[in-house]
């Protein structure tokens, strides 16, 4: 069965039309489905519409948050309530076309675990399109998963994918990246993108900045989540090396300036005093920063070793026979 999770935030007008399109696609292609609307703190009467739709259709259910907790929280709540083997997430503003559902399922059946949508012909203003392209390029470069549209609201994945990844904050846009890091097979297909009919865009400069910070978080979690010292320690060693080089250079200068006079000779070199030099302050700061990074890495390793669960360090694709007790 296909579970369709639809986060809702002040999109009351679009819900009846969206559900009608989903039902029409399900009946035409024989897709057994359920629709889970998650009201993320709407104030426009969206919940009343969800309750009405649920009373008219047994395949519809709803979850209402007490306040706005964000899309990642809405998707998590929807996943906990989902009963299907396949899970589709889509937005409620009608920009995502339910007619694409059969194409997603067909692509998943080719042997993939996650199918991400790609709004190849995007009907959004330029100030959303071009920053999004830059952001998608950055994600591909930093994570190794090159998709055209990581932030597309249409995503289909197998239920076991969500059981192995954790999303919070605004990490929902990185579901393909997190799944790819666990060894799941990820692909994308071009989808039909429609103009917005209801609701308001959640895009803004603050969202772009938060997305960049989230990207750094995902890069750290997927690359060094189980071995933080490999990153923090490398940074620490780099700064320690720079600090020791600077201090060593200054120490040699000091010796050449001060040791010969102690033996009755003249300084081998005549240079300005060591104390006022900026290099001294930079070298000391680099040494301290390097030591702190190494210490943080050791503390992070200690936390990981005492909190990580055995099953968190790998992902099992399948088993055969009886496993030993």
Question: Mind listing the pLDDT tens digit for each residue in 21-57?
Answer: 999 999 999 999 999 999 999 998 899 999 999 999 9
| Number of CB atoms found within 10 A of residue 110's CB | 9
3-state class (DSSP) for residue 219: helix
Confidence grade of residue 179 (pLDDT, cut at 50, 70, 90): very high
Same domain membership, residue 235 and residue 88: no
Residue 325 in any domain: the answer is no
Last residue of a domain, one of 224, 259, 276: 224
Structural tokens at position 156: 């289909």
d(CA 233, CA 227): 10
Confidence grade of residue 323 (pLDDT, cut at 50, 70, 90): very low
Same domain membership, residue 138 and residue 271: no
**322: pLDDT strictly greater than 60:** no
- Span of 63-67, 184-188, 318-322 with lowest mean pLDDT: 318-322
Same domain membership, residue 258 and residue 179: no
The pLDDT of residue 154 is 92
- Span of 214-228, 231-245, 299-313 with lowest mean pLDDT: 299-313
The pLDDT of residue 325 is 46
Helix (H) or strand (E) holding 8: strand 2-8
The answer to whether 70 touches 40, Cβ cutoff 8 Å, is yes
d(CA 103, CA 236): 49
Same domain membership, residue 116 and residue 27: yes
Number of domains in the chain: 2
- Per-residue pLDDT of 98-122, as tens digits, reads 999 999 999 999 999 999 999 877 7
pTM of the entire predicted model: 0.75
d(CA 68, CA 44): 13
- Contact partners, residue 79, CB within 8 Å, separation at least 6: 5, 87, 159, 162
Arithmetic mean of pLDDT over the chain? 85
3-state class (DSSP) for residue 158: strand
Residue 322 in any domain: the answer is no
Same domain membership, residue 187 and residue 297: no
d(CA 101, CA 2): 10
316 vs 176, residue with greater confidence: 176
Residue 149 in any domain: the answer is yes
Same domain membership, residue 144 and residue 272: no
Same domain membership, residue 262 and residue 207: no
Last residue of a domain, one of 194, 224, 254: 224
Last residue of a domain, one of 185, 206, 224: 224
Same domain membership, residue 86 and residue 67: yes
The pLDDT of residue 273 is 76
Domain extent, residue 83, equals 2-224
């Amino acid at each position: 069965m296909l579970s369709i999770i639809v986060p809702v935030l002040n999109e009351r007008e679009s819900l009846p039309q969206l559900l009608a399109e989903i039902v029409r696609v399900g009946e035409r292609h024989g897709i057994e489905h359920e629709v889970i609307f998650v009201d993320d703190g709407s104030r426009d009467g969206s919940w009343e519409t969800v309750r009405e739709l649920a009373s008219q259709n047994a395949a519809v259910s709803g979850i209402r948050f007490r306040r706005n907790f964000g899309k990642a929280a809405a998707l998590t709540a929807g996943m906990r309530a989902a009963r299907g083997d396949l899970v589709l997430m889509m937005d409620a503003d009608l920009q995502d076309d339910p007619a694409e559902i059969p194409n997603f399922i067909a692509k998943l059946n080719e042997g993939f675990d996650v199918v991400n949508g790609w709004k190849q012909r995007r009907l959004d203003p330029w100030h959303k399109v071009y920053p999004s392209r830059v952001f998608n390029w950055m994600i591909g470069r930093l994570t190794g998963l090159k998709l055209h549209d990581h932030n597309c609201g249409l995503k289909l994945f197998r239920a076991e994918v969500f059981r192995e990844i954790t999303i919070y904050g605004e990490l929902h846009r990185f579901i393909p990246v997190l799944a790819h890091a666990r060894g799941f097979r990820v692909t994308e297909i071009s989808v039909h993108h429609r103009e917005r009919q209801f609701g308001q865009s959640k895009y803004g400069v603050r969202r772009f900045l938060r997305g960049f910070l989230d990207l750094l978080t995902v890069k750290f979690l997927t690359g060094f989540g189980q071995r933080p010292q490999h990153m923090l320690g490398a940074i620490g060693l780099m700064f320690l090396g720079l600090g020791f080089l600077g201090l060593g250079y200054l120490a040699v200068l000091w010796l050449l300036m001060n040791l010969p006079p102690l033996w009755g000779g003249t300084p081998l070199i005549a240079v300005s005093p060591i104390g006022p030099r900026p290099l001294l302050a930079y070298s000391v700061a680099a040494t301290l920063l390097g030591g702190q990074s190494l210490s943080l890495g050791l503390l992070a390793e200690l936390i990981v070793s005492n909190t990580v669960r055995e099953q968190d360090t790998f992902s099992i694709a399948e088993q055969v026979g009886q496993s030993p007790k």
